Amino acid sequence: MLSVSNEVGRLRKVLVHEPGPEVDNMLPSMMEELLFDDILYGDRAREEHGRIRRVFQLLGIEVLDAEDLLEEVLRERAGRAWVLDAVLPPGATELRDRLAEAPAEELASALVGGVRLPAEPGRGHTAADLFAVPPLPNWCFQRDPQIVVGSGVVFGSMASAARRRETVLARAVFRFHPDFAAAPTWHDPMDAGFERSHVGGTGAAFLEGGDVLVISSDVLAVGLSERSNKLGVLDLAEALAGREDAPRFLVVVELPRRRAYMHLDTVFSPVDRESALVYPPVILPGGAERAQVHEIDLKSRSLEWSPRKDLLSCLARRGAGFEPIPCGGDDPIAQQREQWTDGANALALAPGVITMYDRNQGTMDELARRGFRVVDAKDLLLGRDEADLGSGERVCISLQSNELSRARGGPHCLTHPLVRDR
């Protein structure tokens, strides 16, 4: 069952992926294509990710790892055949035969962690030289390959070729896993019925999950960014248009084309029913890099892009008013530094109960001024402090982030909600 109609309702079930051998196999030369700022120390990244998962479990949230789900899909002949057909290039007969006979656990690990080529004298040192199947270090960012909207799913279309296998694996999970196979697909860019943007030489459509926020059952906010383009948004609008069970409005936020603002959730994330973390220069009226905002009525015939003054006033018109809480507080230096380290990329576990990286001290100080009690995740896990998702208290749980933050994604990026309360 899938059910996500907002960004802050109590989180019941969440999809994650622990960074595995794929981050250990990542080469420095792959950083630019994979959009990392550094190669990760895998053991420390796993330690930090494990702490996040244990916090979720302690608070009663069911945690599913995408690789475990993929492994279950690969135990069945139909799922295994579909994945191998979709992932492997034509002519890779020997590799396909080898992988087709592998145990499900080993095959899942290979599809995510990569398959090394045999060592040979004089072989080069690029990823193409070393891997028959390259690793997927970005798969820990489960926000991007799919987007759960209501009771259904939208599949992403990644801007970077190095990430496109992630969407194939996501499709396998939601198409073949018994827990999700019955969920409707609202939009799949690989489906021939949604290929409008790929005919007539108009280019490729890109849409990534970090650019899509489920504001309410009636409103989706979508970023036009480095990773999601206008064709991707047009395809999404056309796929959802006129559906009785789909949102009514698509609010399009055109971000400045800067690496720091790679997705909408890096500059805006709701943290309570009527509060959201924002990066002021991009989100607030009068900001030096204020995003252009348009609204699309998905029930209209024309799907016209109607200009709006700014994101917050547009959302307020549709019954979703948010008090802005500045990432980094009021200091413009802290705002820039902490936006870069995912200070505006918090994940709400319940209304007013959020998680964020501990390095964003200015943001946490600002949250404390707004009534949030800041709790160290280690203290929570050791029983030295406590939090309750149903108490109504505002709490910010700070997460150690020395290694994970190098990968350029915060708690919102690392997770994908599957079930939230309304």
- For residue 95, is pLDDT > 70? yes
Q: Could you tell me if 27 and 131 are in contact, meaning their C-beta atoms sit under 8 angstroms apart?
A: no
User: Per-residue confidence at 169, pLDDT binned at 50, 70, 90?
Assistant: very high
pLDDT of the residue at 122: 61
Evaluate if residue 193 carries a pLDDT over 70: no
- Catalytic residue (choose from 140, 314, 327, 413): 413
Name the amino acid, one letter, at 63: V
Is residue 140 part of the annotated active site? The answer reads no
Task: Please give the domain boundaries of the chain with CATH numbers for all domains.
Answer: 11-420 (3.75.10.10)
Once rounded to an integer, what is the mean pLDDT over residues 21-39? 78
pLDDT score at 197: 46
Question: Can you give the pLDDT at residue 64?
Answer: 98
- Count of all residues that appear for the chain in the document: 422
Q: What is the mean pLDDT of residues 127-140?
A: 85
> What is the DSSP pairing of strand 219-224 with strand 395-399?
unpaired
Q: What is the pLDDT of residues 69-93, one digit of tens each?
A: 999 999 999 999 999 999 988 878 8
Strand partners, 372: none
The percentage of the chain sitting over the pLDDT mark of 70, rounded to a whole number, equals 95
Q: How confident is the model at residue 344 (pLDDT cuts 50, 70, 90)?
A: very high
Check pLDDT > 60 for residue 201. Answer: no
| Alpha carbon of residue 262 to chain centroid | 11
Instruction: Indicate the pLDDT class of residue 29, thresholds 50, 70 and 90.
Output: confident
Q: In b/e form, how buried is each residue of 353-391, taking b as 16+ CB within 10 angstroms?
A: bbbbbbbbbbbbebbeeeebebbebeebeeeebebebee
Cβ neighbours around 217 below 10 Å, total: 16
φ/ψ of 335, rounded to 5, equals: -60, -45
| Tokens matching residue 273 | 């029913």
Residue 195 in tokens: 């290929």
11: left (phi over 0), alpha (psi -120 to 50) or beta: beta
Contact 111, 118 (CB under 8 A): no
Q: What 3 state SS string does the chain have?
A: CCEECCCCCCEEEEEECCCCHHHHCCCHHHHHHHCCCCCCCHHHHHHHHHHHHHHHHHCCCEEEEHHHHHHHHHCCHHHHHHHHHHHCCCCCHHHHHHHHCCCHHHHHHHHHHCEECCCCCCCCCCHHHHEEECCCHHHHCCCCCEEEEECEEEECECCCHHHHHHHHHHHHHHHHCCCCCCCCEEECCCCHHHCHHHCCCCCCCCECHHHEEECCCCEEEEEECCCCCHHHHHHHHHHHCCCCCCCCEEEEEECCCCHHHCCHHHCEEEEECCEEEECHHHHCCCCCCCCEEEEEECCCCCCCCEEECCHHHHHHHCCCCCEEEECCCCCHHHHHHHHHCCCCCCEEEECCEEEEECCCHHHHHHHHHCCCEEEEHHHHHCCCCCCCCCCCCCEEEEECCCCHHHHCCCHHHHCEEEEECC
Cβ atoms within 10 Å of 34's Cβ, excluding its own: 20
- What mean pLDDT do residues 193-220 have? 78
pLDDT given for residue 199 in this prediction: 40
What pLDDT, in 10s, does the model give residues 294-331? 999 999 989 999 999 999 999 999 999 999 999 999 99
Tell me the C-alpha distance between 84 and 165, whole Å. 11
- Judged against a pLDDT cut of 70, whether residue 34 lies above it is answered with no
Q: Which amino acid is at 183?
A: A
Distance of CA 224 to the CA centre of its chain: 15
Q: What is the overall mean pLDDT for the chain?
A: 92
Looking at residue 296, what is its pLDDT? 97
For 170, counting Cβ atoms within 10 Å of its Cβ (0-12 exposed, 13-18 middle, 19+ buried), the class is buried
Which range, 92-106, 230-244, 340-354, has the best average confidence (pLDDT)? 340-354
Q: Which of 193, 372, 280 is nearest to 185 (CA)?
A: 193
- Report the half-sphere exposure of 332 (CA within 13 A, side-chain side): 4
The string over 179-197, giving b where at least 16 C-beta atoms fall within 10 Å of a residue's C-beta and e elsewhere, is ebeebebbbbbeeeebeeb
Cβ pair 250, 304 in contact under 8 A = no
Closest among 409, 364, 421 to 144, alpha carbons compared: 409
> Comparing 404 with 269, which gets the higher pLDDT?
269
Note whether 353 and 395 are within 8 A (CB). yes
58 token code pair = 């302690």
Q: Specify the range with the lowest mean pLDDT, choosing from 23-32, 129-138, 402-411.
A: 23-32
